[in-house]
Amino acid sequence: MGRDAGGAANKINLIPQDFFAELCEQIIHHLNHKIPGVNTAELCQRIQTSGIEINIGDLAKIANILSFLFSTAARNNLSTEELVTTLGSAVSTLPKHALQVIRHVWNEQGKSITAAEDARNVATVGQFVDMKWKLGVAMSSDTCRSLKYPYVTVTLTVADPSGQITDKSFEMTIPQFKNFFRQFKEMASVLETV
């Protein structure tokens, strides 16, 4: 883990214990296939709202390191003490409250991480989480005073293979949306035959 882990450990100091515990639990749930990923954006926003300055990149890095740590510990069937000892030697700057949380979470839920998570970590495709849409009307543009053409904005929430949850938004004209819808209907009819 080296220097990267040391830098991330310093950032862990910024995260209050309750938020850090929530992050660890989300990671364990993700490794157990109970949730599609860790919503670092939402957690980061809540941490910032509580008055702590941390950016999403740092939080994502911490989440990735913890995910790697828990999955490696599960693969090697580490006991809580072995995990804490390994952590102590790898990351000397880890704050005491973080070690307590890791110890507690691993004690409670560590054994439930299945060996199957190994295979899933190799996956290269994301996982669908949610979809939101809204209809809008463009009122004007540089070239035309009053367009008033409708369009659909779609936001897809996806968990990438590492478990980070991200939103992807895009706009479609009505003809594009009709084509999109037609393809979904085709998928649905094919699924009914399976």
Greatest Cα-to-Cα distance within the chain, rounded to the nearest angstrom: 69
Question: Does residue 153 sit in the same domain as residue 168?
Answer: yes
pLDDT computed for residue 9 by the predictor: 61
Residue 12 and residue 20 in contact, taking contact as beta carbons nearer than 8 Å: yes
Please report, rounded to a whole number, the percentage of residues in the chain having pLDDT higher than 70: 80
Percentage of the chain with pLDDT > 90? 8
Comparing 17 with 166, the larger pLDDT belongs to 17
More confidently predicted of 6 and 49: 49
68, pLDDT greater than 50: yes
Reply yes or no on whether the pLDDT at 15 is more than 80: yes
Work out the mean pLDDT of the chain and round it to a whole number. 79
Of the given ranges (7-11, 57-61, 122-126), which has the lowest mean pLDDT?
122-126
In order, the DSSP letters of 143-179 are: S-S---EEEEEEEEEEE-TTSBEEEEEEEEEHHHHHH
Is there a single domain that holds both residue 19 and residue 72? yes
Residue pair 156/131 in contact by the 8 Å Cβ criterion: yes
Question: Long-range contacts: 188-192, Cβ < 8 Å, 24+?
Answer: none
Give the chain's domain count.
2
Query: Which of these three, 73, 106, 121, is where a domain ends?
Result: 121
Q: What is the pTM of this model?
A: 0.62
For 15, the domain range is 5-121
Whole-number pLDDT of residue 22: 92
Distance between CA 126 and CA 132 in Å, rounded? 17
